[in-house]
Every structure is written in C-alpha cells, then in structure tokens.
Amino acid sequence: MSREQINQLIQAQKQYFADGHTRDITKRQQALYTLIDAIQQHEAAIVQALQLDLRKSETEAYVTEIGFTLAEARHLAKRLARWAKPRKVKTALTHIGSRGMIVPEPYGTTLIIAPWNYPFQLALAPLIGAIAAGNTAVLKPSEWTPHTSAVLSTIIRDCFDPRYVAVVEGAVETSQTLLELPFDYIFFTGSVGVGKKVMEAAAKRLIPLTLELGGKSPCIVHHDADIQLAARRIAFGKWTNAGQTCVAPDYIYVHHTRREALVQALREAVVSFYGEKPLESDLYPSIVSNQHLARLTTFLDEGRIAWGGHVDAVNRRMEPTVLIDMDWTMNIMDEEIFGPLLPVLTYEHLDEVIHAVRNRPKPLALYLFTTDRDVQHNIVEQLSFGGGCVNDTLMHLATPYLPFGGVGESGTGRYHGKYSFDTFSHNKAVLYQTTAFDLPLRYPGVKNGLRWMKKLLR
C-alpha cells in the first residue's frame, strides 16, 4: 500500500468516526462478537500460520494466542456497556448545586503496531480495547511473521469495513509512514529501541500513546523456595515460545545454597515438557529468524553451559539452555535475551539482589519464589517493575483483572480487561452547573467575599 493510499485510508477512518458509526455501544459489542466468531472459524488457519512462522504447537498456539484473545474479547464485550456510562463524582462544597460527571469518549483513529513473538494475540488484544472504547483502528502486524499477518488480514477484512478497522502490511518503511500520519492514539508493542523512535514520532504531533516494551526481567529464588515447584514454573515461563516472550524470566538470582538443586530441577522440568531432545520435539517452537538465532548463538560463549546449548540452524532452533558462572560484565547481561538462554547468578544476602536490580533499568516483570512473607513484602516494596508474580511466572498477564504494562524503559501505559477500555478512552470531565441560583462569592467586589471563600476552601 502506497503512502497516498494509507493516507486516504486514515482520512476515510476519521470521517467514519466523525459520522458517529463507532459510538453506539450495541454496535461495539456486536463488532467484538463478530471478531470472536471469525477467530473461531479461522482457528485452524491461525494454528497453521503460527506453526509456519514460529513452529508453535497447537496447544501453545491456542493457550497463548487464540484462547487468550477470545477470552479478552468476551470479557470486554460483556462489560463495556457498564464501563462506557458517564460516572457521577462528588460535589465540592464550593460547587453546591452543580453536578460533576466523567464521560469516557474514544480518541478517534488509532494505530496499533504489533510484534512478531505473539503475532496474533499482541495484534488483536489491543484492537479489542480500541473497538470496545469506540475507536477506528489501523493494525500493522509484523513482517517477521508473514503467515500470521496474512491470516489477520483475512479475518479483519471479513469482519470490518476498512473505514472501521483495517490491516496495513509492510516492513519498516510502512511503519515509518504510518508514524508520520495524524492518528489520534498509538499503541506499540516491541523493543525498547524501536519504542523510543515511536515515542519521538508521536511527540512531533503530541499524539498520546502506549508503549509495551521489555527489558531484563529478574527471577529471584530464595533459600526457602520449593525448588521442584519453582523449577517447573520458571521453566514454563522461560521456555514457552522458546523464550521469545517479553515477560519471560531473563535471568535467575538464586541463593548460593540452592543453585545446584535448582539447575538440576530446571533440567528435569525441561525433559518432562519436551523430552530428552527438545530440538526434535513438536511442542518446542523455533526462533523467528536466522538473524535472531545468530545473535543468540554469540551468547553461548559466555559463562559456562550447565546443560543444553545445542543449535539446529537449519530449522532455526536452540535448546533450552542454562548458563552458570555469570557476572554483569558479560554481553548477555547487558541486553534482553529474548531467547531460550537462562543465566543463573547467585547471592548470599537479599540486599545484593535489590542493589543489582535497582542499578539497572526498571524491568517489565519480576518473579520471586519464597514462602517468607517478610521477603515477599520487602521485594515488592523496594523494587520497581511493571508487574509480576510471587511463586509463579507469566500468569499475572493472563488475568483481565490486573493491568499489564511497564514502567520506565520497560514501557508506559497499561491494558487488559477494563484497563484496555481505559487506555483507548479519554475521560472527559464535565460540570453541569445549576441556573436555579448563583453564589456571588466568586465575583469581584463582593463584600467579605475573600473571607467566606477562605472558610469554604478550608
């Protein structure tokens, strides 16, 4: 699609929005149910596309992409009528006779730029919020997962008038073109580096935005943790999608007395998930591109491989791998791994972990394994992170009742459930003033006006 065609599409969406086609609550709900039906009808095609792009198994494709998206759409469709109602707020003493209301309103025409690691879910989950809030939307899927992008295009084309929702496919140049155009809101999911460019482009037009980025998410395993249970849950969080998950545990800090037990338990968990040879398992995904695999391979020379480390370059696969004898001077500890490599560091005192995490950019997620309530409180209270779990991994993003988003370099804004509706809505403040009487105290020249105003404002 040329720049002129994209610009015409956006102008058509702006007119569609201005004409009021997206405002009716019932129509928004119907749009979400139409999307739900289309996803169910295309389920086999979605699974096949994810298999071709990332070698995801049918189970992983459903649990992390299709099922998640369906649950999100149903959750919002059932509740958006209540969320969209204007809300009355308290009346201040100085405003006697008036009525204050908060009126949620859509921004207008929105841009959603999706990543490649969960190319179906991370494209449609924000779109669901945009539709629920009453916006039009242009969806830009990732060029790194072309089969999934094609299925998304088909689904959206079957469901929506392009003046309402449209997919624009293309590479980096297409994203750059889109970012130069007058959207009313931008929602971006991707790397920190690209997120900075998106924010810079939005700043030129003062376009509000949400950035869902990433970073190095720590996993802390205290000496009192149930090692077998912790290992299973860490292994699930780390090696789902071959580690290509923005909230995957990026590295482990384990108490020095439990390192050997944890490393062994992680190995046992991987064998129980994928067998003795994960590279031959139909349940274990591949790396998205040769370029990404080559980058991950360079990290294998750092530290010491406790187990794993084998690579199948032909099929773009890398074994789940644990690295030990690590330190913060190594390259792998300087950037988000986004792959199946898991460095393990040790600590003696918890203050060492707190100091190390505090001295680095705020992570998108943090995970802690301990039964000590004081330790749980200490870590949650002292460390800043987007979201996380105590005695689990990943599962905080699977509930629509918790907001998902980053802080600092790991992102800005939040979504999922009602937070998606709120993200794509502007809360308009409206004061309805009475005409039955008029308190004169605010006007110049009123006798003793200042004295009475001071009393009221106290």
Give the active site residues: 212, 246
Sheet holding 99-106, edge to edge: 87-89, 99-106, 425-432
Computed from CA positions of residues 323, 326, 328, 331, in that sequence, does the dihedral angle turn out positive or negative?
negative
Q: At what angle do helices 350-358 and 373-382 cross, to 10 degrees?
A: 20
Angle at 304 between CA 300 and CA 309, to 5 degrees: 45
Q: Both tokens of residue 354?
A: 């707190």
Closest CA to 137 of 118, 157, 165: 165
How many Å is the Cα radius of gyration of the chain? 25
As a whole number of angstroms, the distance between CA 379 and CA 60 comes to 31
Closest CA to 54 of 121, 112, 111: 121
CA distances from 287 to 114, 250, 261, 317 (A): 18, 16, 29, 6
Closest CA to 144 of 230, 220, 49: 49
As a whole number of angstroms, the distance between CA 374 and CA 31 comes to 47
Strands 87-89 and 99-106: antiparallel
